[in-house]
């Protein structure tokens, strides 16, 4: 690591110097500029209506999350009888078949990641709204992790896509996608957009305002 001189000076942010940073190309420009001089993207001091937009998307994701868990994600047609399996049902079935590692993979990616992601995003929005003093560094890391794991919940949707394409043997055996595949894919995409709309710099802005009040 090289010496970072500006690190020793207390919190010189781009905003405190009247600069906004382009989220696409990192270019710094005066806050009055609306389009990035380097790449032409729209520029804002902070992401536009970040909190409201993130909240609206999170609520949408929660609504989609209900059918995603209640309806079957795939339906197996075997010798004339058909059987649907939900996300949790699939995990339990795998445990019964002694496929514990795969059960764990599905459980982590399809149950823990999406629900954990929703909860941590709600928590982040809530702390920003309340100007909470809870360790901003930890909350920034929490945001980074949430942002990073987002797309990994698509695993289950890909599993359905592969099985539907692969498993069809005449009238003997076939797998069809269930309604939950659609709503679960929706949950993943909407939460990914929610994470992108959230602006982690607001966590630190709230801190600076708190500091000034005291």
Partner 1 sequence: MTGDIACHGCDLLVNVASLKDGESASCPRCGSFLTRARSDAFSRVLAYAFAGVILLILANSFSFLSFAASGLESVITLRQTPRAIWDYDMPAVAIMVAAFIIVIPAVILGMLLMLCIPLQQGRYRPWLVTTAKWIFLAQNWAMVEVFIIGVIVSLVKIAAMATIVLGISFWAYAGFTICFTLALANLDRYQCWERIEALESA
Which region, judged by CB under 5 A, interacts with Zn ion, from 24-32, 157-165, 167-175, 187-195? 24-32
Phi, psi of 114 (to 5 degrees): -65, -40
Residues 6+ positions from 172 with CB-CB distance below 8 Å: 78, 79
Residue 112's binding partner, choosing from Zn ion, partner 1, none, with beta-carbon cut-off 5 to 8 A by kind?
none
Phi, psi of 175 (to 5 degrees): -120, 130
Residue 68's binding partner, choosing from partner 1, Zn ion, none, with beta-carbon cut-off 5 to 8 A by kind?
none
Q: Which CB sits closer to Zn ion, 40 or 133? A: 40
**Shortest reach from residue 154's CB to partner 1, in Å:** 5
Decide: 73 and 85 in contact? Cβ < 8 Å.
Answer: yes
**Shortest reach from residue 87's CB to partner 1, in Å:** 13
**Shortest reach from residue 201's CB to partner 1, in Å:** 4
Which region, judged by CB under 5 A, interacts with Zn ion, from 35-43, 59-67, 93-101, 170-178? 35-43
Task: State the sign of the Cα–Cα–Cα–Cα dihedral 202, 206, 207, 208.
Answer: positive
**Shortest reach from residue 82's CB to partner 1, in Å:** 13
Decide: 110 and 184 in contact? Cβ < 8 Å.
Answer: yes
Q: Which CB sits closer to partner 1, 58 or 156? A: 156
Residue 7's binding partner, choosing from partner 1, Zn ion, none, with beta-carbon cut-off 5 to 8 A by kind?
partner 1
* DSSP β-ladder status, 168-169 and 81-85: unpaired
Residue from 38, 129, 130, 144 in contact with Zn ion (CB under 5 A): 38
To which residue do tokens 């001089």 refer?
37
In angstroms, rounded to a whole number, what is the distance separating the alpha carbons of residues 122 and 51?
10
In angstroms, rounded to a whole number, what is the distance separating the alpha carbons of residues 91 and 155?
13
**Shortest reach from residue 86's CB to partner 1, in Å:** 15
Q: Which residues bind Zn ion (CB under 5 A)?
A: 22, 24-25, 27, 36, 38-39, 41
């Amino acid at each position: 690591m090289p010496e970072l001189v500006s690190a020793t000076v207390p919190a010189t942010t781009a905003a405190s110097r009247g600069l906004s940073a382009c989220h696409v190309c990192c270019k710094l420009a005066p806050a009055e500029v609306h389009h990035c001089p380097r790449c032409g993207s729209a520029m804002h001091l902070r992401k536009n209506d970040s909190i409201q937009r993130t909240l609206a998307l999170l609520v949408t994701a929660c609504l989609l999350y209900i059918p995603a868990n209640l309806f079957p994600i795939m339906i197996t047609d075997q010798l004339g009888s058909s059987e649907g399996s939900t996300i949790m049902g699939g995990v339990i079935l795998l445990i019964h078949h002694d496929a514990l590692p795969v059960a764990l993979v599905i459980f982590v990616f399809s149950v823990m990641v999406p629900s954990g992601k929703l909860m941590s995003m709600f928590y982040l929005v809530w702390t920003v709204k309340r100007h909470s003093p809870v360790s901003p560094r930890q909350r920034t890391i929490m945001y980074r992790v949430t942002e990073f794991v987002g797309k990994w919940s698509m695993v289950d949707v890909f599993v359905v896509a592969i099985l539907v394409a692969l498993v069809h043997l005449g009238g003997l055996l076939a797998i069809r996608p269930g309604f939950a595949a659609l709503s679960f894919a929706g949950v993943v995409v909407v939460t990914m957009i929610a994470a992108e709309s959230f602006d982690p710099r607001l966590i630190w802005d709230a801190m600076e305002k708190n500091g000034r009040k005291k």
